Structure 1
Amino acid sequence: MTGLKSSAPPSASASTADQTDTGSANREATNSEATSGEHRRRIALCLQYDGAAFCGWQLQPRHPSVQQTLEEAIASLDPPSLDAQRPVRTMAAGRTDSGVHAAGQVAHFETSGPIPAQRWPKALNGRLPASIRVVAAAEVPLTWHACFSATYRRYRYTIHNGRTPNLFLAPWTWHRYQQRLDEQAMADALAGMLGDHDFSAFQRAGSSRPHARTTLQEVMVDRQGDLVVVEMQATGFLYGMVRLVMGQLVAVGEGQLSVDGFSRRWRQQAREQVKEAAPPQGLCLLRVGYPEEVFVKSAWYDGQPRFALAIPDSP
């Protein structure tokens, strides 16, 4: 097993963007929610979901989303929220893309109903599909926000680097079997990104963010047999950033791109040279951090199990 972990020095810079960026509409909703009636309560939820079943977190017309599914379940339990002037509205720490999983997504909503916070997980899980599980809930101040109160998001990407396909790994990993990945080179490339930088080379088209700066706080590359795990922690992530980074890192690991070449691409904002995005199924929103812990650690901290194979089969 090889574990390579690097951390950036503390930075005063902070970004509130995430895997898909959050815009001013969410911030306006925060202001209106915080000034609502005195009997309103804000409930924070920690949830897990299998991203393959959804078009992503965010509401989409004609496609099932995690947000819509969760809001419908909340509304079925909280009749006051069915008032046309107070529809259920959830806000998430990160708007994950279609097919991306979550082990520790955090969202909040407001209610004036009587259900205590600790009863929401069991009540919601009885109405949600098996592809979404609420693992914890807590009542938080009306000024607390799942997205804007967060100090970091951490993502994990898992690569299956064995020659033989594996049915049980396929839904959760990217199978790269042509050659053995050089995890040391991948770690070296990733470590150069630590700190506050302009990462526009790793931002998909369609972002509404006014800039592409964010602070990468910590990175880790770890091999256990045929499984290579990459983790990235940042104040926020640009639209599509992690999957674009992973596409380039795999090119480094396979010797198609040098560490220096990787660095030049993002430092020179050469977006046109960043062509391949890693597929979504290998990516998981691992956890979201806040100045003060909202949930018990066993519920929100690194809830995705690490995979292992008994017999290595690396190329």
Structure 2
Amino acid sequence: MRLRIDLAYDGTDFRGWAAQPGLRTVQGELTAALATVLRVPADDVAVTCAGRTDSGVHARGQVAHVDLAPALAEQHAERLDLLARRLNGVLERDVRVRAVTPAPDGFDARFAALWRRYAYRIVDDPARVDPLTRHHVLAWPRRLDETAMAHAAATLIGLHDFAAFCKQREGATTVRTLLDFDWIRGDDGVLVGHVQADAFCHSMVRALVGCMIAIGEGRLPVEWAAQVLTARERDPRVVVVPAHGLTLEEVAYPEDDELAARVEQTSARRAPLPTEPQEGP
């Protein structure tokens, strides 16, 4: 029996999602809690998530799955609400299980996802810096032009090789489909970048935000973002911003009868794109 687990966490005191020996991680904490509540060895619990957040990154809408052996499945199938409560009783308060539900056939938290949506929050007015939000909003010392940032962000939407914004990993593709990228300033003065894509590679969102900040400060023109993209190599002027301003907000999945096809599609390695014209999209 496969279970879907919806959870949220404050990433401040975590060294990211992925379990690492001797370090506190979200996967490690959730695995240990499941092992305790289910009364099984931790080695028998394999938790897979939709997005492996980096150290310090938060989540409101993380999704994971875990498989239960038949005997455990029968024991807990009708009381999954109780299982969620017991997990929260074991976990520290900076990670909360919001729901535990039976996963439909073909569900895979990672490969069945249609898209992930992140938000990056910045306050660029010293008078509006709130110490109570310091762990999830980046305080920036100079005023940013959200209109210029929104225009630059729009030039990156679509299917591209985002190698210029990713930390390279051997054998991994950097081709992604950026579905939405926009910047909006709220009534509280906080500037929020909304980034949605089919998937993200390592440090991609934080590098995209760093690029937008350079444009928002007026140091570089709007057109520079597309130039960085088409160059397909890291530009030293693109700064990877701190992790604490970033939150995984939502993960979307297809209808149940489309899950298996989606898993098959996304499990296949993305082919490299042909060389794109240097004038940008």
TM-score, normalising length: structure 1? 0.75
Hey, what does 2:134 align to over in structure 1?
170
Q: Does 1:243 align with 2:206?
A: yes
Hey, what does 2:26 align to over in structure 1?
66
Hey, what does 1:47 align to over in structure 2?
7
Instruction: Report the CA distance between 1:57 and its aligned residue.
Output: 0.2
Instruction: Report the CA distance between 1:174 and its aligned residue.
Output: 0.8
**Aligned counterparts of 2:55 and 2:42: Cα–Cα separation in 1:** 30
**Aligned counterparts of 2:249 and 2:216: Cα–Cα separation in 1:** 23
Q: How does 1:110-125 map to 2 (within 5 A)?
A: 110-112=67-69, 113=72, 114-115=75-76, 116-125=79-88
Hey, what does 1:103 align to over in structure 2?
60
One-letter code aligned to 2:41 = L
Query: Do the aligned partners of 1:244 and 1:274 also contact (CA within 8 Å) in 2?
Result: no
Q: Deviations over 1:75-127 (max 9, x none)?
A: 01112x4286xx11100000000000000000010113112333322111000
Q: Deviations over 1:272-304 (max 9, x none)?
A: 3354111011000001000138xxxxxxxxxxx
Query: Do the aligned partners of 1:265 and 1:273 also contact (CA within 8 Å) in 2?
Result: no
**Aligned counterparts of 2:184 and 2:151: Cα–Cα separation in 1:** 12
**Aligned counterparts of 1:254 and 1:209: Cα–Cα separation in 2:** 36
Q: How does 1:225-240 map to 2 (within 5 A)?
A: 225=187, 226-240=189-203
**Aligned counterparts of 2:42 and 2:186: Cα–Cα separation in 1:** 52
In structure 2, the CA distance between the partners of 1:117 and 1:292, relative to structure 1 (3 Å rule), is farther
**Aligned counterparts of 2:92 and 2:255: Cα–Cα separation in 1:** 30
Q: Secondary structure at the match of 2:90?
A: coil
Q: What do you get for the CA RMSD once the two structures are aligned?
A: 1.6
Query: Do the aligned partners of 1:99 and 1:280 also contact (CA within 8 Å) in 2?
Result: yes
Query: Do the aligned partners of 1:204 and 1:240 also contact (CA within 8 Å) in 2?
Result: yes
Q: Secondary structure at the match of 1:272?
A: coil
Query: Do the aligned partners of 2:35 and 2:42 also contact (CA within 8 Å) in 1?
Result: no
Q: Secondary structure at the match of 1:68?
A: helix
Hey, what does 1:128 align to over in structure 2?
91
Hey, what does 2:261 align to over in structure 1?
none
In structure 2, the CA distance between the partners of 1:123 and 1:129, relative to structure 1 (3 Å rule), is same
- 1:93 equivalent among 31, 35, 50: 50
Hey, what does 1:82 align to over in structure 2?
41
Q: Can you give the 5+ residue segments of structure 2 that lack an aligned partner in the other structure?
A: 257-281
**Aligned counterparts of 1:121 and 1:53: Cα–Cα separation in 2:** 22
Q: How does 1:181-192 map to 2 (within 5 A)?
A: 181-192=144-155
Query: Do the aligned partners of 1:160 and 1:169 also contact (CA within 8 Å) in 2?
Result: no
Instruction: Report the CA distance between 1:204 and its aligned residue.
Output: 1.2
**Aligned counterparts of 1:83 and 1:259: Cα–Cα separation in 2:** 50
Query: Do the aligned partners of 2:152 and 2:212 also contact (CA within 8 Å) in 1?
Result: yes
Counting helix residues as a fraction of each chain, which structure ranks higher? Answer: 2
Hey, what does 1:214 align to over in structure 2?
176
Q: Deviations over 1:28-58 (max 9, x none)?
A: xxxxxxxxxxxxx111011000000100000
In structure 2, the CA distance between the partners of 1:78 and 1:201, relative to structure 1 (3 Å rule), is same
Query: Do the aligned partners of 2:5 and 2:64 also contact (CA within 8 Å) in 1?
Result: yes
**Aligned counterparts of 1:46 and 1:171: Cα–Cα separation in 2:** 22
Hey, what does 1:199 align to over in structure 2?
162
TM-score, normalising length: structure 2? 0.84
Q: How does 1:300-315 map to 2 (within 5 A)?
A: none
Hey, what does 2:250 align to over in structure 1?
287
**Aligned counterparts of 2:248 and 2:99: Cα–Cα separation in 1:** 16
Query: Do the aligned partners of 1:201 and 1:274 also contact (CA within 8 Å) in 2?
Result: no
Runs (4+) of structure 1 exceeding 4 A deviation are none
In structure 2, the CA distance between the partners of 1:83 and 1:203, relative to structure 1 (3 Å rule), is closer
